[in-house]
Amino acid sequence: MFQGLGTALWAEGKFDAAVENLAAAVTMWAAASNQAGLQSSLMNLAIVYWDIGDLVRAAEAMEQSAALFDRSVPDPAVAPALVNLAMIYSDSGRLLDSVELYREAFEVCRLFKISWGEANVLSNWGYCSWRLGQLGLSCQLLEQARQRYVELDLGIYQILHLLGNVNVDMGLFGEADKCFKMGLSDCRDIGERKVEQDYLWGLGYLRQRMGELDEAIVWYTDALELARSLGSRSTEAGALLDMATVHAELGRPAVGLRLARQAVRVSAEGGFLTTQGSALTAFAVCCLAVGRAGSAVAFGRKALAVHRETGHRPGEARTLRVIGQALFVAGDRAGALEHWERAVEMFAEMGMPEADGVRELLGQAR
């Protein structure tokens, strides 16, 4: 009774009541030594926590669910727990741990011929690889996922935003635009609001990278409003930090600082460590824009530590660029050159055209 009511309340967006009922279901199944019921209730409880942005409790509940399986014996039922735990780890900044779980889940799905599971794992594994800066691998995994989604008629809109983001970072803006617009249209046709926010955010990111800053603000604002209406705190934080950097580029750094502060707070409250690192980088960008080079270096170094902890290499490279700019403004030319040279190396290793912009900075400084 508690489990069914909890999942129904979750579907209605009544999260507090859903947590209360699912927690009661966990207690009931544990007392009855019903392992299947306990696994299911813990997984659902974790997903609700994840939905409301409480990644700490989400990870705890999902870890407990996964631990109930004997993973030395192949079992198709373990795949959903592994995939959900991997996704929570990814949002929490535990990217390398996430990759290991995706590998394990993929082998389970392959062994038991769970085709939809393979497609799901490949898409999420591709997303995680993108955040690690492994763009070639990410593109390969997402293309494999796309083929399976088409073959199984699963709804290609579920992964086109991921391919779009990879294409943006590879400088393939035309391909990214096609992915985002096709996926957005599909989401709106079927009323899939939760995924729609990712397309709005992605289109803002694309326009920002293309230098169309006013249009980027429009897309980011739409993404932010939808994320807040859905209670999606991860997307809220991401849209805030990207909007902050656009406002700084448009000569409105005070607005950018306000938005960056919100992004840092929201990401910290939700435990979104990778996003928190990027929010700190955005704050450094805005500090530099208002002439606070010392603060930009300080916040940039905090961001750098987070990016290195999570393995978010694109974030690390971008932060090195920002710290270099702040050091140069502060008169530390040698320090600036050192940071820029490392940023160029990282961008080049990842196949990201952003290396060219840093090379220009190096050329001007020398």
**Both ends of the chain: CA-CA distance in Å?**
71
Q: Does the pLDDT value for residue 134 go beyond 80?
A: yes
Report the alpha-carbon distance of residue 353 to residue 13 in Å, rounded. 41
Q: How confident is the model at residue 126 (pLDDT cuts 50, 70, 90)?
A: very high
Structure tokens at 232: 């999606």
Whats the size of the chain, residue-wise? 366
CB 258 within 8 A of CB 299: no
Report the alpha-carbon distance of residue 9 to residue 217 in Å, rounded. 35
| CB-based burial, 62-78: b 16+ in 10 Å, e otherwise | bebbbeebeeeeeeeeb
Q: Quick check: helix, strand or coil at residue 85?
A: helix
Identity of residue 96: L
Report the alpha-carbon distance of residue 330 to residue 326 in Å, rounded. 6
Q: Between these two residues, 299 and 50, which has the higher pLDDT value?
A: 299
pLDDT tens per residue, range 207-235: 999 999 999 999 999 999 999 998 889 99
Confidence at residue 307, expressed as pLDDT on a 0 to 100 scale: 97
Report the alpha-carbon distance of residue 246 to residue 26 in Å, rounded. 45
Identify the helix (H) or strand (E) that includes residue 63. helix 55-67
Confidence at residue 315, expressed as pLDDT on a 0 to 100 scale: 98
* Phi, psi for residue 94 in degrees, rounded to 5: -95, 70
- The string of DSSP codes covering 96-155 is HHHHHHHHHHHHHHHHTT-HHHHHHHHHHHHHHHHHTT-HHHHHHHHHHHHHHHHHHT--
Of 324, 360, 326, nearest to 343 by C-alpha is: 324
Q: What is the pTM of this model?
A: 0.92
Q: How confident is the model at residue 70 (pLDDT cuts 50, 70, 90)?
A: confident
pLDDT tens per residue, range 38-49: 999 999 999 999
Q: What is the mean pLDDT of residues 65-71?
A: 88
Q: How confident is the model at residue 11 (pLDDT cuts 50, 70, 90)?
A: confident
Q: Quick check: helix, strand or coil at residue 170?
A: coil
Q: How confident is the model at residue 202 (pLDDT cuts 50, 70, 90)?
A: very high
Report the alpha-carbon distance of residue 157 to residue 146 in Å, rounded. 10
Q: What is the mean pLDDT of residues 138-144?
A: 96
Q: What is the mean pLDDT of residues 81-87?
A: 93
Of 353, 350, 352, 295, nearest to 322 by C-alpha is: 295
Q: Does the pLDDT value for residue 304 go beyond 80?
A: yes
DSSP 312: -
Confidence at residue 74, expressed as pLDDT on a 0 to 100 scale: 84
